[in-house]
Amino acid sequence: MIEISGAKLMIALWGLGITFLFVVVFTFVYFKFFRENKFAKSLFVFTFLAIFVVAILKLTIFYFFPYGYVSDRLPFYAVPSPKALGIWWMLGALGIFFLFLKFREKIEKLNAFKFLLTLYLIFIAFSISVAAIREGFYSVYEPFTRTRWEYTGDMLLVTSIPEFLRDYVALQPKLTVHASVHPPGYTLILYFFHQYLGAGFAGLAVLIIMLGGFVIFPLYYFLKNFATEDNVRRGLQIFIFVPSFVMMSATSMEAAFLFFSWLAIAILYEGWRRGAFLSFLGGVAAALALFLNYLFALLAPLFLILFFMLYKRGIVTRIIPTFFGFLMFFAALYLWTGYSIIENFFVAHGRLYHNVGSNFESAMLYLAYFVMNISAFAVYLGLPNIKALIRGTTDLLRENNFIGSSGAIIVTLIIFLGLFQGEVERLWLFLTPLFILPLIRATENFDKTQFASLLSLLFFQIILTQTLFYTYW
């Protein structure tokens, strides 16, 4: 039985009241602007019903199986907990989104740098505002205060970078829960921000959001190889309102990994197309991304697709400097500090298995994780996007466009292999850009009203999710 104190009950009732008021006002405004558009109305009905079903399902599971590892993560990782104490932040998020919609077409016409910078600033302001809705600005950095679990608790272990890296594997028993199953890259980023910029918990959170937001820049230049300028700009506008990007960038280190992963991908592809020096830098960037998180290795299918695309053009030799740069990074690290990424991987893998076990312990557990990973990732890609993603991916697969359908290929492979035990809305944040091309394909014929309705419903889902659930990690 779940017990709720009087104070918590009042907070929950306030949160429900604010949420209900938001739904009423949003619905009124939405139909005022989009009532003549059949697509916009049908998309609203689909999104509203999908959110309602997911919310009821989550509440039902939580009521009967509160605070269980699997039940916490079905159909996505969150606890039902209505809260909206940061009402001014909520109004700020509303204002930011309204201004974006109002000036969206003018923003689209800016030159490339101004366009990207504007999107970047909008994303930073919007992401912080959304994160602060529950408890004010404290909500933005609250995860970083849990020093038993998060990488902020490991900064005190860094007396010097060479010594920390040399002893990192031996320090495993002393590391925080998350750091013990990852390479040391996240901890060193936080250490750098704290040591040289004087950032505390709040400053660290904001700096990580700012770092993650920079992913817009390499994404733009990578996507331009596969879509028109106008379509890429539209795709990035959708991306800055994808729920996982907005909500998880503000509260997790995966935002940093997102940036470094796509910086590496963009440099690698340009290097493979243009010359050895960029190819070498791409290898170094790829090593740096792996130094942050072993999950970078899951992008291997994407690199294989890019490899075969270039193989047909006869420029495969440009890939050789990539391997040299990649190996040189870790060789230099080993010679400088004695740190071995390979040794660290096997120790971390053993620790992870000890913490969460395997998906294959039983058929029922495999099925539970299978459903969990699909549902969580789909919800956080944006329920309004689901229909568009299915249509766009199907069209690209029919055309044998493997770069455009690489997101679906990689996610399907990972899910069937049973490599994850939930929390993929955060852990797979680095995979979300792979779905921009299917979204571009599905929305390329949208008129401005249809496109605005899609963005509006993404905003609608983000606010409802934030006010109704504690999306902790």
| Structure confidence by residue, pLDDT tens digits, 310-355 | 776 666 778 889 999 999 999 999 999 999 999 999 998 888 777 6
Q: How far is the C-alpha of 453 from the C-alpha of 43, rounded, in Å? A: 8
pLDDT of residue 385: 93
- pLDDT tens for residues 82-107? 999 999 999 999 999 999 999 999 99
- pLDDT tens for residues 260-318? 999 999 999 999 988 889 999 999 999 999 999 999 999 999 998 888 887 766 667 78
Indicate whether 1 belongs to any domain: no
Looking at per-residue pLDDT, the higher value among 362 and 379 belongs to 379
The encoded tokens of residue 473 equal 């990690």
Q: How far is the C-alpha of 201 from the C-alpha of 320, rounded, in Å? A: 42
- pLDDT tens for residues 206-241? 999 999 999 999 999 999 999 999 999 999 999 999
What is the number of structural domains in the chain? 1
The residue range of the domain holding 412 is 6-470
Of 139, 373, 146, nearest to 251 by C-alpha is: 139
pLDDT of residue 5: 61
Unique residue bearing structure tokens 């106008």:
230
pLDDT at 396 over 90: no
Q: Could you tell me the pLDDT band of residue 61, with boundaries at 50, 70 and 90?
A: confident
Percent of the chain surpassing pLDDT 90: 66
Contacts of 280 (CB under 8 A, 6+ apart): 271, 321, 322, 324, 325
Q: Could you tell me the pLDDT band of residue 9, with boundaries at 50, 70 and 90?
A: confident
Q: Could you tell me the pLDDT band of residue 418, with boundaries at 50, 70 and 90?
A: confident
Mean of all residue pLDDT scores within the chain: 90
The dihedral formed by the CA atoms of 436, 184, 359 and 371, expressed in degrees to the nearest 10: -30
Q: How far is the C-alpha of 112 from the C-alpha of 104, rounded, in Å? A: 14
Beta carbons of 429 and 249 less than 8 angstroms apart: yes
Indicate whether 99 belongs to any domain: yes
Indicate whether 234 belongs to any domain: yes
Looking at per-residue pLDDT, the higher value among 390 and 27 belongs to 27
